[in-house]
Amino acid sequence: MACAASTTGKDWYKEVTYQQRRMASLKLVTYRLPPLPTIGEIIKLYNLKAEKQLSQNFLLDMRLTDKIIRQAGNLKDTHVCEVGPGPGGLTRSILNAGAADVLVVEKDIRFIPGLQLLSEAAPGRMRIAQGDILTYRLDKVFPAHIAKTWEDVPPNLHIIGNLPFSVSTPLLIKWLEQMSNRSGPFMFGRTRLTLTFQKEVAERLTASKGSPQRSRLSVMAQYLCTVKKCFTIPGRAFVPKPDVDVGVVHFTPLAQPQIQQPFKLVERIVRNAFQFRRKHCRRGLEMLFPESQRQELSEQLLHSADVDPTLRPTELSISEFRALVDAYSRLCHEHQGLNDYDFREELRLKHKTKRAAGNTKEPHLQTTMEEHPNNAG
């Protein structure tokens, strides 16, 4: 009897595991798209051509689009915003990965018919918005119930995109500012991003202290996020082939930003520090202050932050930038109007004054010449 019971138990276990495998297989089938024209065929069908002025480059190899999507993590039953889907290669990989809700935001109206074909193949799982991602309100298009607190795990919301080179940097800066303010797509929590950039930009984003690639973008991204360069795609994989290779970068916002100051204040310090990247950091930081107080206040800033003025901007760590931003914030409270100072405006006014001074002499010279015409020769 014991032996029979044991055999029955084994049979039951086999039946259960078979049913589990079968259900998992059926669910996988529901994620997989039905047979569709290839991306190359879609491009021919709708006579789509990449617009050079829009920095459009199509990625046709599904093995590469699948690889990009794997960098985003597990997309099963998640919400995804894809930026600039174009003919929809990356979109197919997102849908095949099991995303429950895919919003694609496409500026170029030529791609909409091909995307509609894809949407019909994935009923109820794909939405199409024709618009500019730089102005599109991502805080309005996802359900409130997916939101997490900032300190919690990231929400089931991802931003993914093979970004046109022309908008990649301004778009990232916009998202970093929204991340700092916890607005836009970050009102739902620490929304993750998986994006493509020119290889050089990807290297800047991930460059560490002391690297020749270290830049303003490195500091602004790394004080707010964990930034990971995933892999490089050779330019020849794109149609048309760009002049550069492409890097895939993944961003996860930090639960506690490394600098606890307003984004604009941080950006001001970092931008000034890197404007003379080959010189000592003091040279750029001096330009935060009016000429009449430049030496005094720049010395006070560096002393208060305990930062070596002979370091180059690329040699400054995030913690040193934090000390500089905190020290500058204190100086702004002590000196009214300092936060609004712009050395370019002071320089412009100085040149304007010089030109005005020069113009006052010209009428006098002209009068003299008219009064003494014989002197003209």
What is each CA distance from 126 to 10, 110, 137, 249, 285, in whole angstroms? 43, 18, 18, 24, 48
Q: Residues annotated in the binding site, as ranges?
A: 57, 59, 84, 106, 132, 162
Asked whether the predicted pLDDT for residue 162 surpasses 90, the reply is: yes
Q: How confident is the model at residue 364 (pLDDT cuts 50, 70, 90)?
A: very low
Strand, helix or coil for residue 278: coil
Asked whether the predicted pLDDT for residue 71 surpasses 80, the reply is: yes
DSSP string, 279-292: S-HHHHHGGGS-GG
- Work out the percent of the chain whose per-residue pLDDT is above 70: 84
Asked whether the predicted pLDDT for residue 56 surpasses 80, the reply is: no
Taking a C-beta distance cutoff of 8 angstroms, is the pair 274, 300 a contact?
A: no
When pLDDT is averaged across residues 293-308 and rounded to a whole number, the result is 97
Q: How confident is the model at residue 54 (pLDDT cuts 50, 70, 90)?
A: low
When pLDDT is averaged across residues 269-295 and rounded to a whole number, the result is 96
When pLDDT is averaged across residues 354-362 and rounded to a whole number, the result is 69
- What is the CA 110 to chain-centroid distance, rounded? 25
Taking a C-beta distance cutoff of 8 angstroms, is the pair 45, 37 a contact?
A: yes
Q: How confident is the model at residue 50 (pLDDT cuts 50, 70, 90)?
A: low
Paired tokens of 68: 């990009």
Taking a C-beta distance cutoff of 8 angstroms, is the pair 281, 311 a contact?
A: yes
When pLDDT is averaged across residues 75-82 and rounded to a whole number, the result is 98
Taking a C-beta distance cutoff of 8 angstroms, is the pair 35, 41 a contact?
A: no
Which has the minimum average pLDDT: 29-43, 90-104, 135-149, 201-215?
29-43
When pLDDT is averaged across residues 296-314 and rounded to a whole number, the result is 98
Paired tokens of 49: 């051509």
Using a 10 angstrom Cβ sphere, with 0-12 exposed, 13-18 middle and 19 or more buried, the burial of residue 35 is exposed
Neighbours of 162 (CB within 10 A): 27
Asked whether the predicted pLDDT for residue 28 surpasses 80, the reply is: no
Nearest of 264, 262, 309, 263 to residue 285 by alpha carbon:
309
Residue 86 falls in which region: left (phi positive, over 0), alpha (psi -120 to 50) or beta = left
CA distance 15 to 20: 9
pLDDT of residue 358: 72
Q: Please report, for the chain, the start and end positions of each structural domain, with discontinuous segments joined by +.
A: 39-253, 263-353
Fold (CATH) for 263-353: Helicase, Ruva Protein; domain 3 (1.10.8)
The domain 39-253: what is its CATH number?
Answer: 3.40.50.150
CA distance 242 to 127: 29
CA distance 260 to 245: 35
Predicted TM-score (pTM) of the model is: 0.83
Q: How confident is the model at residue 361 (pLDDT cuts 50, 70, 90)?
A: low
Q: 51 vs 172, which has greater pLDDT?
A: 172
pLDDT of residue 34: 74
When pLDDT is averaged across residues 140-153 and rounded to a whole number, the result is 97
Q: How confident is the model at residue 24 (pLDDT cuts 50, 70, 90)?
A: very low
Q: Residues annotated in the binding site for S-adenosyl-L-methionine, as ranges?
A: 57, 59, 84, 106, 132, 162
Over the chain, what is the mean pLDDT? 87
